[in-house]
Amino acid sequence: MLNGYRQYAAQQRGDWVNRVNAGRRVPLRATLRRREQGFSLIELVITITVMTIMTLGVMPLVKVSVQRQKEQRLRDTLRQIRIAIDEFHRDTIGINCTGQLGGQGLQGGGGQGGPQQPPGGGGFLDPRSKVVISDCTIFGIDNPDHYPPDLDTLVEGVNVIPRGVGAGQFGGQGLGGSRPMSEQSQLSTKLKVYLRAIPVDPITGKAEWDLRSSYDPADANSWGGENVFDVRSKSKETALNGEQYSDW
């Protein structure tokens, strides 16, 4: 009678369960401990194998995706620098470092109805250019094309004056390039910056670029130093399209 009451009380506390297959009762806590022991060795081996296969399949895709992002940043960076170089060159159209007008006056083609050119020559005036560079000291005698002498000039900025400030007439308005530079320098109260900073090459991770002057041949391996006409990456690695980054 007493043993039956003890078994009944143990079952009510959850300490015992019936095992049908063995025909005997085992403690419930022992059964729970077995279940909490975790995976078996074969289960762990299978899990690790599956995860390894998945990782080996995903890693190449991730690597290609990262490289493609770097290449896009390189294209954007090269475009940013080249736009700054072109904008600098536009602002030199009409610059007059001698204080005299160009040899053919204001009319191109010998002054007989040809397209108008600004004083000082250097090409046709781009309507996007609102100022003209007034500091001739940054241009050497070997840089008559008036491209920037180096990338630092684009970051440090140059003195400019608004177009239309001057004694000469061009298109109904004066042009700053028609005055001698000694007079123009007194009006140069603005410093125009073309680049906030020299960008970092996403491929090399350095703010260093291969430079080309307007006098360097296309296959040149070094910079002539006359001016900065173009920039390219220093990396000799091959891009996803099979080209070298240094050829972009």
Q: Look at the chain and report how many structural domains it folds into.
A: 3
Same domain, 175 and 204: no
Q: Which domain holds residue 40?
A: 1-56
Spatial CA neighbour of 126 closest among 168, 156, 79, 83 = 83
E strands, 92-236, where? 131-133, 158-162, 169-170, 173-174, 190-192, 210-212, 230-232
Same domain, yes or no: 134 and 221: no
- The candidate with the shortest Cα–Cα distance to 232, out of 74, 46, 24, 16, is 74
What are the beta bridge partners of residue 14?
Answer: none
Round to whole Å and give the CA distance between 138 and 14. Answer: 93
Q: How far is CA 106 from CA 119, 120, 175, 247, in A?
A: 6, 9, 11, 40
User: What is the model's pLDDT at position 128?
Assistant: 86
**Both 124 and 212 in a single domain?**
no
What per-residue confidence (pLDDT) applies to 177? 44
pTM here?
0.64
Distance CA(62)–CA(51), nearest Å, equals: 16
Give yes or no: residues 219 and 184 share one domain: no
- Same domain, residue pair 204 and 223: yes
Instruction: Going from the first residue of the chain to its last (248 residues), give the mean pLDDT of each consecutive group of 10, the final group possibly shorter.
Output: 58 51 53 59 82 77 88 96 96 76 36 44 74 90 92 95 61 44 58 95 95 90 92 94 92
Q: Give the pLDDT of residue 65.
A: 87
Integer Cα distance of 142 and 224 in angstroms:
10
Question: Residue 24: how many CA atoms within 13 Å on its side-chain side?
Answer: 3
68 near 97, Cβ under 8 Å? no
Residues 29 and 120 in one domain: no
Residue 126 DSSP code: P
Same domain, residue pair 216 and 233: yes
Is residue 184, in this structure, part of any structural domain at all?
A: yes
The CA distance from 232 to 248, in Å, is 7
- Please report whether residue 139 resides in a domain: yes
**Exposure pattern of 185-195 as b/e (b: 16+ CB <10 Å)?**
eebbeeeeebb
Is 76 contained in some domain? no
